[in-house]
Amino acid sequence: MTHRIGSRRRKTRYMLTRSVRDKGKVPLSKFFATFVEGDKVNLKTNSNIAFGQFFRRFYGMTGTITGKMKGTCYEVKINDMNKAKILFVHPIHMTKG
């Protein structure tokens, strides 16, 4: 088997870059966004905030909120190649959709 070299953020040069208008401070309304169980959300990483990020493979996917974690993150259920997976994502990396 091959041995992967590098971290989770390797090969993300264009995926995690932010446009000039988006750089800088993060809007507080997105940071403190609230979701209820059953909401559909789109996953898009905000590279300014490191905590609560999901793995890059799930970038652009749509999932459903299944619960709220102990802290600020939410539990999101997605289908990855017909297999259900659960991610723990911070609200800054999600938009309602």
pLDDT value, residue 51: 92
Q: What three-state secondary structure class fits 4?
A: coil
pLDDT value, residue 9: 85
pLDDT value, residue 53: 93
- Give me 28's structure tokens: 């507080």
pLDDT value, residue 4: 83
- Looking up tokens 């309602």 gives 96
- In angstroms, rounded to a whole number, what is the distance separating the alpha carbons of residues 67 and 76? 7
Q: What three-state secondary structure class fits 58?
A: helix
Q: Walk along the chain (97 residues) in steps of 10 and give the mean pLDDT of each run.
A: 86 90 90 96 93 94 95 95 96 94
- In angstroms, rounded to a whole number, what is the distance separating the alpha carbons of residues 1 and 70? 37
What is the value of pTM for the model shown? Answer: 0.88
Q: Where do the domains of the chain lie? A: 28-96
Superfamily name and number for 28-96: Ribosomal protein L21 (2.30.30.70)
Q: Are 34 and 75 in contact (CB under 8 A)?
A: no
